[in-house]
Amino acid sequence: MAGLGQKLEARQGQGLVMTPQLQQAIKLLQLNNMELSAFVEEELERNPLLERDERADIPDAERTDPEVAAKADSDELSFDAPGKADEALDADTEAMYSDSKADMAGADAGGSVDWSRAGKGGGGFDGEEYDAAANASREKTLREHLHDQLAVLVLVPSDRLIAAHLIDLTEDDGYLRADLDETAQRLGVTRSEVEAILDRLQQFEPAGVMARNLQECLALQLQDRDRLDPAMAALVDNLPLLAKHDYAGLKAACGVDGEDLTDMIGELKRLTPKPGLGFGSETTRAVEPDVTVRERPDGGWAVELNTDTLPRVLMNNRYAAQIGRAARTEDEKVFITQCAQNASWLVKSLDQRARTILKVSSEIVRQQDAFFAKGVAWLRPLNLKTVADIVGLHESTVSRVTSNKYVATPRGLFELKYFFTSSIPSCDGGEAYSAEAVRFRIKVMIDTETVDEVMSDDRIVERLHADGVEIARRTVAKYREAMNIPSSVQRRRQMKGVG
């Protein structure tokens, strides 16, 4: 039996070491502007060397102290000038989000800072996880409540874009008073597309939400209670008679006697005419855009950070030097040093976060420019790796940038991640088609069917092949079922009024 003993053995291995600075940069990148503002507010309270940058209206050229200037101003990039964009983003500072693991391992992205002495008071970079939800003191708004329900609803990305836009158009009292024709035109879809999505959203809680008028609101609540029988439907349709106390007219319209009418009116009065008022007031928008996209006079698209919600801070070097000279004990010196390190790193991290978001957003807009110009049907196939390779970042970085970050466009407010879609190959080997665009084509074909020409899945495949889209019949069937569209046999029966 071999003896047991101790020995020293040298082994060489490779691993990824994430510095506290890199961890902090990643944490900030995951927050949206509103969460970031809450985080920065905490840092302003904790760190006496940090202060708000009140010089938002002062041109950069007039700022004489480069060490304390917050660089995340209203940067603007045009996707048709990639060379200038890369220069504006200062590629030398991209190491903290680099695609190269060697750059991330052991490298101190924040400079020669001794973090071993940090962790006691004075700063928020001591490894504590920031919980944005724990810092939210206001009551949840109706839009937030609806977006939470949308998150678990199974929808294709193009439909989710429409749904998110409709939710954002919903008013605080729960009504959707927007013009659906105008909304459809803005999104580049048909009114029937919008109405189909609205029908699903009107099943959300609270019952009656996103109704377009009082009658529809009451009808939705009765339907939710399984009480929308023909008599109640007639009562809801004749609310003007109820307002005039024309009970004889109501009894005739509903086909009931006086006792039944009294019960029906009592049930109607127990409904909620404004279902949205049970939620917190919308003093601020439930979703604020982190990036805005606007059309330029030359037909291109300009991408800008939303500086209205972007926190701007700087480090007060003069005050730091003053209290540094006044420090006497070792603990005081450590505290001041730590505050200075944290303040300097926060300013740099905010700057890098803004530049990274702008860089990724600009590439997404460049890739999906046809969507902004023509609508949902023109979404291109796009994945994280494509964007990551072009902008020189890691896929995980692009994922963090696009999650929970919103872009305001002429077509509405959308989450950046919605612009990533799968692809369908073309028959001639040319550019692939977005799966969302193919789904949209299938829906348009079915929406325009007539009773004499109801297309089977095979017929849809033939028409798509004629348009150059290579797709299998089972894929068409899968897309059709995902959109809750019945088979051709069922559709034909529905058109003919057969059960």
**Cα–Cα distance measured from residue 349 to residue 406, given in angstroms and rounded to the nearest whole number:** 20
Q: Is the pLDDT of residue 143 over 70?
A: yes
Classify 429 in phi/psi space as left (phi over 0), alpha (psi -120 to 50) or beta: left
State the pLDDT at residue 434: 66
Burial of 86 from C-beta contacts in 10 A (0-12 / 13-18 / 19+) = middle
**Cα–Cα distance measured from residue 372 to residue 375, given in angstroms and rounded to the nearest whole number:** 6
Calculate mean pLDDT across residues 346-371: 89
Q: Is the pLDDT of residue 101 over 60?
A: no
Percent of the chain surpassing pLDDT 90: 13
What dotted CATH number matches 423-496?
Answer: 1.10.10
State the pLDDT at residue 120: 35
State the pLDDT at residue 15: 55
Q: What pLDDT digit, counting tens, does each position of 21-33 carry? A: 667 777 788 887 7
Calculate mean pLDDT across residues 186-199: 90
Q: Is the pLDDT of residue 303 over 60?
A: yes
Q: What pLDDT digit, counting tens, does each position of 219-231 carry? A: 999 988 888 889 9
Lowest mean pLDDT among 27-31, 95-99, 116-120: 116-120
The band of 428, judged by pLDDT with boundaries at 50, 70 and 90, is: low
Considering only residues 222 and 104, tell me which one the structure prediction assigns the higher pLDDT: 222
Residue appearing with tokens 């699903």: 200
Calculate mean pLDDT across residues 89-111: 36
State the pLDDT at residue 201: 93
Domain ranges of the chain: 20-55+71-103+288-417, 142-201, 214-271, 423-496
The band of 154, judged by pLDDT with boundaries at 50, 70 and 90, is: low
State the pLDDT at residue 474: 86
Calculate mean pLDDT across residues 37-62: 70
Q: Is the pLDDT of residue 316 over 80?
A: no
State the pLDDT at residue 55: 59
Q: Is the pLDDT of residue 384 over 90?
A: no
**Cα–Cα distance measured from residue 469 to residue 462, given in angstroms and rounded to the nearest whole number:** 9
The band of 7, judged by pLDDT with boundaries at 50, 70 and 90, is: confident
Over its C-alpha atoms, the chain yields an Rg (Å, rounded) of: 29
Q: Is the pLDDT of residue 442 over 80?
A: yes
Phi, psi (rounded to 5 degrees) for 160: -65, -35
Q: Is the pLDDT of residue 255 over 70?
A: yes
Q: Is the pLDDT of residue 17 over 70?
A: no
State the pLDDT at residue 211: 94
| DSSP conformation letters of 368-394 | THHHHHH-GGGPPPB-HHHHHHHHTB-
**Cα–Cα distance measured from residue 372 to residue 349, given in angstroms and rounded to the nearest whole number:** 31
The band of 363, judged by pLDDT with boundaries at 50, 70 and 90, is: very high
**Cα–Cα distance measured from residue 463 to residue 431, given in angstroms and rounded to the nearest whole number:** 18
| Spatial contact of 93 and 352, defined as CB atoms under 8 Å apart | yes
Calculate mean pLDDT across residues 165-181: 90
| DSSP conformation letters of 320-373 | HHHHHHH--SHHHHHHHHHHHHHHHHHHHHHHHHHHHHHHHHHHHHHHTHHHHH
The band of 137, judged by pLDDT with boundaries at 50, 70 and 90, is: very low
Angle between helices 317-326 and 330-367 (to 10 degrees): 160
Choose among 68, 16, 15: nearest CA to 350.
Answer: 68
Average pLDDT in the chain: 75
* Structure letter (DSSP) for residue 160: H
State the pLDDT at residue 218: 93
Considering only residues 328 and 165, tell me which one the structure prediction assigns the higher pLDDT: 165
For the ranges 124-138, 309-323, 406-420, 450-464, the one whose mean pLDDT is highest: 450-464
The band of 3, judged by pLDDT with boundaries at 50, 70 and 90, is: low
50-52 and 313-315 as β-strands: parallel, antiparallel, unpaired?
A: antiparallel
**Cα–Cα distance measured from residue 46 to residue 86, given in angstroms and rounded to the nearest whole number:** 35
Q: Is the pLDDT of residue 427 over 70?
A: no
Calculate mean pLDDT across residues 403-411: 85
